[in-house]
Copies of this chain bind each other. A is one copy, B any other.
Amino acid sequence: MPRAFAAGDDELVEAERLIRDRMSGLDLDLLSLAAVSNVFRTATAVRNHMERNVLKPHSLSWSAFVVLFVLHIWGAKESRELAAEAGISGGTLTGVLDTLERKALVVRQPVPTDRRRVGVVITDAGTSVVEEVMPAFNREEAQVTGGLTVEETATLARLLRTVLRTAEDLGPR
């Protein structure tokens, strides 16, 4: 929803004219600005849409669903890997797991061989939730990409993967 960096491809909207004017002295790469901005704008819009229409009815946060999804795919995971897989920090995962465990969608299990580590297992209730939410989720995904052809959708995924790799390889530095 942020209109801040609004920028299409051909159509030059008022916002971008303004940006160009106000930033003229700064010698910016407006093309990459538009692309990256649209990544954020799109992600925000789609995520809001998903949270409101799919997740909220189940009282699930985004991260909670991702964690549940990962567990459903992989069966069980230890905290450490789970956080990496879900793309959140360890400290955040602790809170998310607290919430999920309170709802009995997930269970923490001590690892016998190493008392530092904690295993996480999805419960039957948790599995039910994923299997109920996932199709609805995917239905919305198909909706939001409905304006693209199949080829365009594939292209979009490919181009994004390239950017993703670059960003990850760039690292924190």
Chain A contact patch, size range: 35 or more
Q: For the complex, give the distance between the alpha carbons of A70 and B38 in Å.
A: 16
Q: Is A114 an interface residue (CB 8 A)?
A: no
Establish whether residues B167 and A144, one from each chain, have CB atoms under 8 Å apart when the complex forms. yes
Q: Which B residues touch A28, using CB under 8 A?
A: 134-135, 138
- Indicate how many identical chains form the complex: 2
**Given contacts A28-B134, A152-B159, A157-B9, is CB(A87)–CB(B46) below 8 Å?**
no
Q: A85-100 CB contact bits vs B (8 Å, 1 = yes)? A: 1111000000000000
Q: With the chains together, A138 CA to B35 CA distance in Å?
A: 11
- Given contact pairs A22-B73, A72-B22, A157 touches B31 in the complex (Cβ within 8 A): yes
Judge if A112 is at the interface, Cβ distance under 8 Å: no
User: Which chain B residue shows the least CB distance to A81?
Assistant: B3
Mask: chain A, 126-158; 1 = CB below 8 Å from B; 0 = not = 000001001100100111111110101111111
Q: How far is the CB of A166 from chain B (nearest CB, A)?
A: 4
Q: Which chain B residue lies CB-closest to A143?
A: B170
